[in-house]
Structure 1
Amino acid sequence: MRILMVEDERALAETVRRGLKNEGFVVDVSRDGVSGLSAATENAYDVILLDLMLPFKNGYDVLKELRQRKIWTPVLMLTAKDGEYDQTDAFDLGADDYLTKPFSFLVLVARIRALIRRGGPARPVVLTLGTLTMDPVNRSVRRGETAISLTAREYGLLHFLMRRHGQIVSKAEILHNVWDPAFEGGDNVVEVYIGYLRRKIDLPFGLHSLTTVRGMGYLLSADRLPAAAGGHPGA
């Protein structure tokens, strides 16, 4: 089994390389994002271990370009960045697993073996709801043939709603899943961003797919017309 490790910390890379070699893996090491992307593009690997903070090209950009080039090798992110949004961004771009430093070598080996057993996906999962589509690889959103530009927060909110489409989700659920746990503001911020989202995914297209269910929360449906919408159009 052949592994590519893209890691600029020489001591860590050498320690992991020696350990994986003893486990029967063949390990190639790249010290920066540019050479790592080149190696991953030109050679066949069973798993790629990819750091986020790299010289010349960060791990997010390397991962994004790999998936854009239709390279579906399983990627395990190795990083000291353990924030919730760091992990969410990595998974949205096509990462298969995420391990924060410092990590247990035994856990790393177990994760690698699990990824090898699972294998690479044939293609990324594009979320579709009626004419609304979201592609996690390039973080693009479209309504039919029209591209929709969203901020990072709007994207995160829509991503959560699309995964829960057809279900009523409360403000509390949205705050818990889309905002940082340390967020200390009121839940009225959810109403504000629901309004922003409606003005981008619904109003220009004469639709009312994102509705308010009074006293309960919000519901995202497929291509609902205003006359047929349930709930109240206001946030």
Structure 2
Amino acid sequence: MRILVAEDHPSLGPDIQRGLERFHYVTDLATDGEDALASALATPYDLLILDVMLPSLDGFEVCRRLRSAHRTLPILFLTARGEIDDRVRGLDLGGDDYLVKPFVFRELEARVRALLRREKSATSATLQFEDITLDTQTREAWRGSRQLTLSSREYALLEFLLHHPRQVLSRETIADHVWDGEAPYQSNIIDVYIRYLRNKLCASGEPDVIQAIRGVGYQLKGKTL
């Protein structure tokens, strides 16, 4: 799971980042609203922890713009602004939760877990792109009527691609989500597993739908595009 923390306090932001990383979340830190918005638009984060009082753009405006751009990632407001009007405004703009500073880290981490569980349960059990189907409950994958036999890593890679069809995914993003950051994105391990997955997807001569984007990463792209 990859989380973006938008917090400009010089010690609190890094503290939250380190705390989440201790629970094995891949965590990025943005220190102003413009950077937070750009990062959340460019990268498929699983959750955004968002301060309200940020430089350049406040957290309310970041949330509004993300929802206007149809980004559905869960947003947890984390702020000293605890008045009822502020809470209502944040939730009305599309926030999913609102935690007031000062806070206890155990509660923050529990709310993160709850939001990620909610997001996972809300996701359809079946992912589909053209003639590729993946059942996340039975962990069965199909290309048309042909069932695929995938290793656990190949399955995770296909699932991640299917969650983000037509989106260009960098090697770093793939490494963070499929390998939990354990595989260095500069290595060729991602390319090797893409090749394994391609071979299985195209074993009966089907069109290749995984496009390499030179110098960047990969994109699940239909043959009709």
What band does the TM-score fall into relative to the shorter chain? 0.5 to 0.7
Q: Give the number of aligned pairs.
A: 122
4+ aligned runs moved over 2 Å, structure 1: none
Q: Distance in 2 between matches of 1:44 and 1:5?
A: 14
The structure number with the bigger radius of gyration is 1
Instruction: Give the secondary structure class of the aligned counterpart of 2:38.
Output: helix
Q: Distance in 2 between matches of 1:35 and 1:14?
A: 16
Listed as ranges, the gaps of 5+ residues in structure 2 are: 124-225
TM-score, structure 1 as length reference: 0.51
User: Which residue pairs with 1:90 in the alignment?
Assistant: 90
Instruction: Give the secondary structure class of the aligned counterpart of 2:95.
Output: coil
Please list, as runs of the form range in 1=range in 2, the aligned pairs for 1:1-235 lying within 5 A after superposition.
Answer: 1-119=1-119
Deviations 1:119-161 (A, max 9, x none): 1878xxxxxxxxxxxxxxxxxxxxxxxxxxxxxxxxxxxxxxx
Q: Distance in 1 between matches of 2:23 and 2:119?
A: 19
* 1:6 Cα deviation after fit: 0.5
Listed as ranges, the gaps of 5+ residues in structure 1 are: 123-235
Q: Distance in 1 between matches of 2:43 and 2:77?
A: 19
* 1:80 Cα deviation after fit: 0.3
* 1:101 Cα deviation after fit: 0.5
Cα RMSD, aligned residues only = 1.2
% of aligned pairs identical? 43
Instruction: Give the secondary structure class of the aligned counterpart of 2:103.
Output: coil
* 1:10 Cα deviation after fit: 1.7
Equivalent AA in structure 2 for residue 93 of structure 1: L
